[in-house]
């Protein structure tokens, strides 16, 4: 599971670094679509769109299914959520730390003000 | 979730950002509403540092916190978690008052992680940037997430519920 995740995370970060690919994910978040429809929507050749979808598919962010002559793409929800959760967990750790740091620093600020007033007297 | 309780504790919380810069680097950012000299003090005095560094939700008790903040000086934090203790230790590599701290994390089995913290003051507020550089991608994935397998187990459940709600749309 962990081994799977390491390679998976890297692939996801790469896949998400491109604006078109993020757009494709957004689009697929609303509805499944064929590669042809996606190519039209993003003003791209079929070959270009196939490449983008291939990268997203490798990262587990999108899954495709060929029915007859049409390849339909849908969101690979799992990959995206796992990525987000991993970062979110780390962010929460630090947010909790920083919230506590805020309190400590506020206290230092108050002390400094109080000391400043004393010194001026 | 419990917004009311949080707002009572600190009325002006700034957002915390996290970005994975590369396979070995993680960067965390946060603005603190205070001048850099005070923020720096909270990072470099053990009696202050120990009050905020350990997230309460982790259920860890900080048994001791020693920090000799000067170039070549050591730090050592000892925690108790249930029946065992954990130690985190390393060396300060750079100490530039009110602007920059660099230390190594030497407790890992597979090499040193280097943490760089910069304190950037603007208009009385300080932008903190915490940059961790791990010895390898594996060290980052296992070290930074704190018990990744458990998280992934929980995630499985979450995803199962998300999956079913998406299908329902």
In a domain, A34, yes or no: yes
Does A33 fall in a domain? yes
How many of the other CB atoms lie within 10 Å of CB of B148?
19
Asked whether the beta carbons of B30 and B17 are under 8 A apart, the reply is: yes
Each residue's pLDDT tens digit, B49-58: 999 998 877 7
Checking if the pLDDT of A59 tops 90, the result is no
pTM value is 0.62
Domain for residue A85, yes or no?
Answer: no
Distance CA A119, CA A114 (A): 9
Q: Which of residues 96-155 of B touch A (CB under 8 A)?
A: 128, 130, 137-138, 141-142, 144-146, 148-149, 151-152, 155
- Higher per-residue confidence, B87 vs A1: B87
| Beta carbons of B9 and A99 less than 8 Å apart | yes
Task: Please indicate, yes or no, if residue A93 is contained in any of the structural domains.
Answer: no
Shortest CA distance from A87: residue in chain B:
B18
Which of A85, A90, A104 is facing B51, going by the closest CB pair? A104
Residue B169 DSSP label? -
Q: Return the residue of A nearest to B9 by Cα.
A: A103
Rounded distance, CA A91 to CA B145, Å?
10
Q: What is the pLDDT of residue B5?
A: 45
> Over the stretch A65-115, which tens digit does the pLDDT of each residue have?
888 888 899 887 555 566 677 777 788 889 999 999 999 999 999 999 898
Structure token digits, residue A34: 């064929």
Domains recognised in chain B with CATH numbers: 11-136 (3.30.530.20)
The Cβ of residue A83 has, within 10 Å, a number of other Cβ atoms equal to 22
Residue numbers in B near A84 (CB within 8 A): none
Q: Using CA coordinates, name the residue in chain A closest to B6.
A: A99
Helix (H) or strand (E) holding B84: strand B84-96
Q: Is residue A12 part of a domain?
A: yes
Give the pLDDT of residue B141.
Answer: 64
pLDDT at B74 over 80: yes
- Are A9 and B141 an interchain contact pair (Cβ–Cβ within 8 Å)? yes
Sheet-wide strand order for A33-34: A33-34, A70-75, A62-67
Q: How far apart are CA A94 and CA B30, in angstroms?
A: 9
Q: pLDDT tens digits for A3-58?
A: 445 555 566 667 777 888 888 888 887 788 999 999 999 999 999 999 999 988 88
The domain containing residue A8 runs over which residues?
Answer: 2-77
Model confidence pLDDT, tens digit, residues B144-166 = 433 333 434 444 444 444 444 44
Answer whether residue B143 shows pLDDT above 60. no
DSSP annotation of B130 reads E
Q: State residue B91's pLDDT score.
A: 97
- How confident is the model at residue B166, as a pLDDT? 43
List chain A residues with CB under 8 Å of B58. 93
Instruction: Give the C-alpha separation, B37 to A38, whole Å.
Output: 53
Task: State the CATH number of the domain containing residue A29.
Answer: 1.10.10.10
Residues 63-92 of B with CB under 8 A from A: none
Closest chain B residue to the Cα of A6, Cα to Cα: B141
**Contacts for B166 with CB less than 8 Å, ≥ 6 apart:** A75, A77
pLDDT (tens digit per residue) in B14-25: 899 988 888 788
Q: How many CB atoms sit inside 10 A of residue B103's CB?
A: 23
Are the C-beta atoms of A46 and B124 separated by less than 8 Å?
Answer: no
CA-based nearest distance B79→chain A, Å? 16
Selection from A73, A21, A109 nearest residue B125 by Cα: A109
Chain A positions in Cβ-Cβ contact with residue B30 (cut-off 8 Å): 94-95, 98
Structure tokens at A17: 């670094």
Question: Based on the structure, what is the number of domains in chain A?
Answer: 1
Distance CA B132, CA B23 (A): 11
Asked whether the predicted pLDDT for residue B72 surpasses 60, the reply is yes
SS3 category, B43: helix
Cα–Cα distance between B43 and B39 in angstroms, integer?
7
């Amino acid at each position: 599971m962990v081994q799977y995740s390491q390679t998976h995370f890297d692939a996801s970060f790469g896949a998400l670094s491109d604006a078109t690919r993020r757009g494709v994910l957004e689009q697929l978040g609303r509805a499944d679509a064929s590669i042809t429809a996606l190519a039209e929507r993003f003003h791209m050749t079929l070959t270009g769109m196939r490449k983008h979808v291939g990268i997203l598919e490798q990262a587990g962010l999108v899954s495709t299914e060929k029915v007859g002559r049409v390849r339909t793409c849908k969101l690979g929800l799992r990959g995206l959520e796992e990525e987000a959760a991993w970062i979110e967990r780390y962010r929460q750790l630090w947010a909790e730390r920083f919230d506590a740091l805020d309190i400590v620093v506020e206290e230092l600020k108050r002390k400094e003000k109080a000391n400043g007033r004393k010194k001026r007297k | 979730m419990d917004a009311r309780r949080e707002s009572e504790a600190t009325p002006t919380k700034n957002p915390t950002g996290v970005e994975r810069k590369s396979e070995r680097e993680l960067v965390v950012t946060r603005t603190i509403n205070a001048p850099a000299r005070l923020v720096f003090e909270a990072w470099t005095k053990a009696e202050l540092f120990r009050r905020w560094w350990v997230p309460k939700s982790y259920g860890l008790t900080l048994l001791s916190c020693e920090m000799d903040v000067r170039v070549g000086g050591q730090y050592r934090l000892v925690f108790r978690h249930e029946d065992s203790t954990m130690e985190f230790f390393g060396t300060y590599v750079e100490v530039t008052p009110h602007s920059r701290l660099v230390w190594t994390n030497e407790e890992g089995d597979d090499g040193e992680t280097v943490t760089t913290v910069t304190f950037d003051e603007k208009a009385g507020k300080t932008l903190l940037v915490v940059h961790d550089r791990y010895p390898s991608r594996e060290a980052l994935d296992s070290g930074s997430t704190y018990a990744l397998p458990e998280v992934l187990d929980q995630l499985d459940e979450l995803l199962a519920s998300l999956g079913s709600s998406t299908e329902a749309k």
